[in-house]
Amino acid sequence: MALDWVGNLVSIHCGPTLGVYQGEISSVDQTSQTISLRNPFHNGVKCTVPEVTFSAMDIKDLKILEISKNSIEVSKQNGPNSSSTTLMPHSGRKDKGGGGGGAPVNSAPVMVPNKAEPRLQEGGVSPVPHYSKRSSSCRGPNQATPKKNGLKNGGHMKNKDDECFGDGMDDVLDEDFDFEGNLALFDKAAVFSQIESSERRGNGARSRGTPGEQTPSRYRHDENILEAKPVVYRQITVPQNGMKEYSTDSGLVVPSISFELHKRLLAAAESHGLSLERRLEMTGVCASQMALTLLGGPNRLTPKNVHQRPTVALLCGPHVQGAQGISCGRHLANHEVEVVLFLPNFVKMLEAITSELALFGKTGGRLVSNVKDLPETPVDLVINCLDSHENGFLRDQPWYKAAADWANQNRAPVLSIDPPVSGQAHAVEAKWSLSLGLPLPLSEGAGRVYLCDIGIPRQVFQEVGIKYHSPFGCKFVIPLHSE
């Protein structure tokens, strides 16, 4: 009977002095009341000797960790109730499942049925864990992790991950964690109250830092924590009082100037080298950039959208404002916009218009001198440069009236470049108007007013009595709002 238990893996508790031994049963001597283990482990550390023998008097408790195949075959032959047993030592304790008394001191070990679940030791001693579940730090140097077969896998070999990293957590995680119950133990109001009281102590001193240090002001996410000078919103002042005023998106006040002061400003800029040609180029770039934005910008002008190129109709007169429109049309044509330029035939034209027309002709844009040659279908945008600041009699010309009627009937939005100041109603109602340098006091028919930077230096403004600080920031074209 004793030979049936040879080969089983057992755990022997020898009390707090000798500790716990684990290993494979090599022999059981009923006469001398001894049991021997081969390849033993003492308190999770492999012993240096190949075999250890225990007397029944030293054994406090014995547990079978793994049953060998030979024992399983013998237990099947003996009956279903003998499949799992435990060797009881000589002490007179009772096993939970046995119900009978223990063996006497000099008697042989008694075989009693063993429960599947681990049981607590008498006297409050907890069950001895499997040696492979101990930390790797318990092993001495140059000691390999012992191989074992798990009962949970039906006696088969565990995989290498379980053997190396198995920590016995399956028994710990048998019960689900109660998240709701644990969260109910957290009193958010009390914790925040404690944080608030710890930050402010006494008369507002912080709990950290120098005693008596005052709590700094609290700032929003969009506020600047650095102290700065107060913002002066009226940074531009003009000699005339009572003129119309505008404001930028950031609140800066931009006053309007009269046409006479505007002429003096341009003359002063030209005397310092800002010639008409340079102003035309700057105006054309800013106006074309605004027009490209109104046409849809990157959503419309893409390489994949070449079959829907926007069309712009430019209505220009024989003056400086007309030259500005031609410059704008040249830049639009360079950006793959279909440009149709209307300019009536005149015997004598300004030199600026002649040079701008020569450059425009190199872009592939279409030039027409008759209103009948303008598109019959609605275009994407109409740019109006028909009006002149100094010659108001052009409105009585037949070509002017025909072009204005065509623009009003085309149902396309209108952008006016550098519109003049006039007490009369605008012949072409504009949706947007672009002023240069500083705005003129435009009427409501000018639509939404924008301002473009044509590169006039600050000292040039000062020469004509204007205190000037640039309102443009990082842009060259900004919107203005009527006060």
Q: Report pLDDT digits (tens) over 301-318.
A: 888 877 788 999 999 999
Question: Alpha helix locations (H) across 368-430?
Answer: 398-409
- Angstrom distance (rounded) from CA 111 to CA 114: 9
Q: What is the pLDDT of residue 349?
A: 82
371 within 8 A of 408, measured Cβ to Cβ: no
- Label residue 50 exposed, middle or buried (CB < 10 Å: 0-12, 13-18, 19+): exposed
Q: Measuring CA to CA, how many Å separate 68 from each of 25, 30, 38, 160, 332?
A: 10, 20, 14, 21, 92
Is residue 79 helix, strand or coil? coil
C-beta neighbour count of 119 within 10 angstroms: 14
Q: What is the pLDDT of residue 165?
A: 65
Check pLDDT > 70 for residue 285.
yes
User: Mean pLDDT across the stretch 366-374?
Assistant: 94
H or E segment and range at residue 78: helix 69-78
pLDDT bin (cut points 50, 70, 90) of residue 133 is very low
pLDDT bin (cut points 50, 70, 90) of residue 73 is low
434 within 8 A of 416, measured Cβ to Cβ: yes
Give exposure, 285-309, as e/b (b: 16+ Cβ within 10 Å): bbbbbbbbebbeeeebbeeeeeeee
Q: What is the pLDDT of residue 145?
A: 46
pLDDT: which is higher, 120 or 170: 170
Q: What is the pLDDT of residue 172?
A: 56
User: Mean pLDDT across the stretch 387-412?
Assistant: 89
Q: What is the pLDDT of residue 219?
A: 72
Q: Measuring CA to CA, how many Å separate 13 from each of 52, 59, 89, 109?
A: 14, 6, 10, 15
Check pLDDT > 60 for residue 147.
no
User: Mean pLDDT across the stretch 227-234?
Assistant: 78
Point out the least confidently predicted range of 116-120, 177-181, 352-356: 116-120
Give exposure, 326-355, as e/b (b: 16+ Cβ within 10 Å): bbbbbbbbebebbbbbbbbeeeeeeebbee
Which domains, from first to last, does the chain contain? 2-170 (2.30.30.100), 245-482 (3.40.50.10260)
- Dihedral through CA 350, CA 353, CA 446, CA 451, nearest 10? -110
Q: What is the pLDDT of residue 105?
A: 37
pLDDT bin (cut points 50, 70, 90) of residue 275 is very high
Q: If you ran DSSP here, which 8-state letter would residue 80 be given?
A: G
Tell me the whole-structure pTM to 2 decimals: 0.55
Q: What percent of the chain has pLDDT over 70?
A: 71
Check pLDDT > 50 for residue 413.
yes
Check pLDDT > 50 for residue 112.
no
Q: What is the pLDDT of residue 370?
A: 93
pLDDT bin (cut points 50, 70, 90) of residue 196 is confident
Q: What is the mean pLDDT of the chain?
A: 78
User: Mean pLDDT across the stretch 246-266?
Assistant: 93
Q: Measuring CA to CA, how many Å separate 139 from each of 66, 166, 467?
A: 22, 16, 86
Check pLDDT > 50 for residue 266.
yes
Q: What is the pLDDT of residue 315?
A: 96
pLDDT bin (cut points 50, 70, 90) of residue 321 is very high
Q: If you ran DSSP here, which 8-state letter would residue 180 be given?
A: H
Check pLDDT > 50 for residue 125.
no
C-beta neighbour count of 413 within 10 angstroms: 14
- Angstrom distance (rounded) from CA 477 to CA 474: 9
